[in-house]
Chain A
């Protein structure tokens, strides 16, 4: 949420990133990745500042894979601009607040380094082709935690049902009864919905 620019530390992390992602041709990619992974995890684990830096919006969109797609879409949503002036940035939804959770997400994110190096989503076409798979990973993660990141800012308890639209009110009453979680129904809240979702995914299974 905090949007104070701390580009210094972001740049360090980013340089590290570039170092990993632009390996010199004389080493085998695999060897570099093995070392890179180890260093990466140690760094993230050992230096909280690096973790903090990597939670900045600038960091996430330092890769064009993130900037040209999901970032643009997010800017058109209520989590970017709303009457309350509270902005939910990438890490608010994607990086758990609690440090141990954070580490799990970070280690998970090393997949993104591989992805970057391999160019899994480096064109808009490739991104769209993979969007459903990436989204499903996020949905599964959020479902497991009962949408913890959403609930950091929103709760059923805090909702003034009487102030909500009728359909929202009704659905939230159901959701509470059926133990559904936010992400069951609020898919595509910050980005375009992936194509090819199943009916059950659409209605919160």
Chain B
């Protein structure tokens, strides 16, 4: 059984690789386009969102309102407030675009999911944080099981004690599990509340990077689908895929994504199996179910927290009620 799975995913990976090279490309002109805006999130982590003194909107969040219910029409304004340093940004990058309009399209052919993002690159701030990739685009998918996944998309994974965030612990690289959890010299990567025994939202340091649950509990969460499925395009290196659970776990995924810049407009396309390239760590996309998608762009050689982020959008196969309707063709 496991052997079959492994073979199947190997074939899947190969196939996915092949699609990148040119299986019948979808006709994008037939696919509805969702216009969104990604904005600078500053240091507005999940703890920031859940702290009433920072974010009075927490009242609504506690009731299960999505970020978009209060903010969808004002994302560019939020970006301006943060980019200027007026709110939630202790170290603004001068000249960096406060927000970027992005068009998202999704389609499938019964086997593969095709996701396309397009945006006009804003003026450069002239700051190079990543020396390999001018552009990176990451996508996260929730299947409805992660707390704050449906409400906030990527926000479920963002914490005050991650690298480059205000409450990162300088000794975190010395943690016994540092290697396993991919804790770099400047701190931990994304994780979910589900994998921690507690999450501090009031007193500093906020977060819970070192309050790990047992391995058995974390494995159980993975089996139950309590993780965010993740894919990433990188212009200067190959694409990666994986998931966020107790840490961000990514591996190379040749052929998963491709992108090009034509006349200043970036077009980035992902192709993966609906069933998932690796069923253990990908959410299978099935008809009748609604998922949440969030994405982030590291534009203009940005790195770490200096990305532009989307709120969470609903995504479903052949369902016009979803924010992003994955139509069949």
Q: Do A and B interact?
A: yes
Contact of B52 among A165, A166, A174, A200 (CB under 8 A): A200
CB <8 Å contact, B59 and A166: no
CB <8 Å contact, A203 and B74: no
Nearest CB of B to A110, in Å: 34
User: Which B residues are in CB contact (< 8 Å) with A204?
Assistant: 56, 59
User: Which A residues are in CB contact (< 8 Å) with B73?
Assistant: 165-166
Contact of A203 among B58, B65, B72 (CB under 8 A): B58
Contact of B69 among A165, A170, A185, A197 (CB under 8 A): A170
CB <8 Å contact, B71 and A202: no
CB <8 Å contact, B56 and A202: yes
CB proximity to B under 8 Å, residues A135-185: 165-167, 170-171, 174, 185
Q: Which residue of A lies closest to B57 (CB)?
A: A167
Contact flags B38-52 to A (C-beta < 8 A → 1, else 0): 000000000000011
A-side interface residues, number (CB < 8 Å): 13
Per the bound structure, the CA–CA distance linking A166 and B71 in Å amounts to 6
CB <8 Å contact, A203 and B71: no
User: Which A residues are in CB contact (< 8 Å) with B202?
Assistant: 199
Nearest CB of A to B102, in Å: 19
Per the bound structure, the CA–CA distance linking A200 and B52 in Å amounts to 7
Q: Which residue of B lies closest to A185 (CB)?
A: B56
User: Which A residues are in CB contact (< 8 Å) with B51?
Assistant: 199
Per the bound structure, the CA–CA distance linking A199 and B52 in Å amounts to 5
CB <8 Å contact, B74 and A165: yes
CB <8 Å contact, A174 and B59: yes
Contact flags A63-76 to B (C-beta < 8 A → 1, else 0): 00000000000000
CB <8 Å contact, A167 and B70: yes
Per the bound structure, the CA–CA distance linking A197 and B56 in Å amounts to 13
CB <8 Å contact, A202 and B74: no
**Known contacts A199-B52, A202-B52, A203-B52; is-contact A170 B65 (Cβ 8 Å):** yes
Q: Which residue of A lies closest to B59 (CB)?
A: A203
Q: Does B60 contact A (CB under 8 A)?
A: yes
User: Which A residues are in CB contact (< 8 Å) with B59?
Assistant: 174, 203-204
Per the bound structure, the CA–CA distance linking A170 and B69 in Å amounts to 7
Per the bound structure, the CA–CA distance linking A185 and B70 in Å amounts to 15
CB proximity to A under 8 Å, residues B70-105: 70-74
Nearest CB of B to A185, in Å: 7
Q: Which residue of B lies closest to A203 (CB)?
A: B52
CB <8 Å contact, A166 and B72: yes
User: Which A residues are in CB contact (< 8 Å) with B63?
Assistant: 174
Task: Tell me whether chain A's interface is mostly helix, strand or loop, or mixed.
Answer: helix
Q: Does B2 contact A (CB under 8 A)?
A: no
User: Which B residues are in CB contact (< 8 Å) with A200?
Assistant: 52
Q: Does B53 contact A (CB under 8 A)?
A: yes
CB <8 Å contact, B53 and A167: no
User: Which A residues are in CB contact (< 8 Å) with B69?
Assistant: 170
Nearest CB of B to A80, in Å: 21
Nearest CB of A to B101, in Å: 17
User: Which B residues are in CB contact (< 8 Å) with A170?
Assistant: 60, 65, 69-70
Per the bound structure, the CA–CA distance linking A99 and B160 in Å amounts to 52
Nearest CB of A to B200, in Å: 13
Most chain B CB inside 10 Å of its own CB: which residue of A197, A199, A204: A199
Per the bound structure, the CA–CA distance linking A177 and B53 in Å amounts to 23
Q: Which residue of B lies closest to A175 (CB)?
A: B59
Nearest CB of B to A162, in Å: 11
Nearest CB of A to B155, in Å: 16
Q: Which residue of B lies closest to A177 (CB)?
A: B63
Per the bound structure, the CA–CA distance linking A167 and B66 in Å amounts to 12
CB <8 Å contact, B71 and A199: no
User: Which A residues are in CB contact (< 8 Å) with B74?
Assistant: 165-167
CB <8 Å contact, A202 and B53: yes
**Known contacts A199-B51, A199-B202; is-contact A166 B56 (Cβ 8 Å):** no
User: Which A residues are in CB contact (< 8 Å) with B72?
Assistant: 166
User: Which B residues are in CB contact (< 8 Å) with A165?
Assistant: 73-74
Q: Which residue of A lies closest to B51 (CB)?
A: A199
CB <8 Å contact, A166 and B70: yes
Q: Which residue of B lies closest to A166 (CB)?
A: B73
Nearest CB of A to B134, in Å: 33
Per the bound structure, the CA–CA distance linking A167 and B59 in Å amounts to 12
21 contacts between A and B (CB under 8 A): A165-B73, A166-B70, A167-B71, A167-B74, A170-B60, A170-B65, A170-B69, A170-B70, A171-B57, A171-B60, A171-B70, A174-B59, A174-B60, A185-B56, A199-B53, A200-B52, A202-B56, A203-B58, A203-B59, A204-B56, A204-B59
Given contacts A165-B73, A170-B60, 11 further A-B contacts (CB under 8 A): A166-B73, A166-B74, A170-B65, A170-B69, A174-B60, A174-B63, A199-B52, A199-B53, A202-B53, A203-B56, A204-B56
Nearest 4 pairs between A and B by C-beta?
A: A199-B52, A203-B52, A166-B73, A167-B70
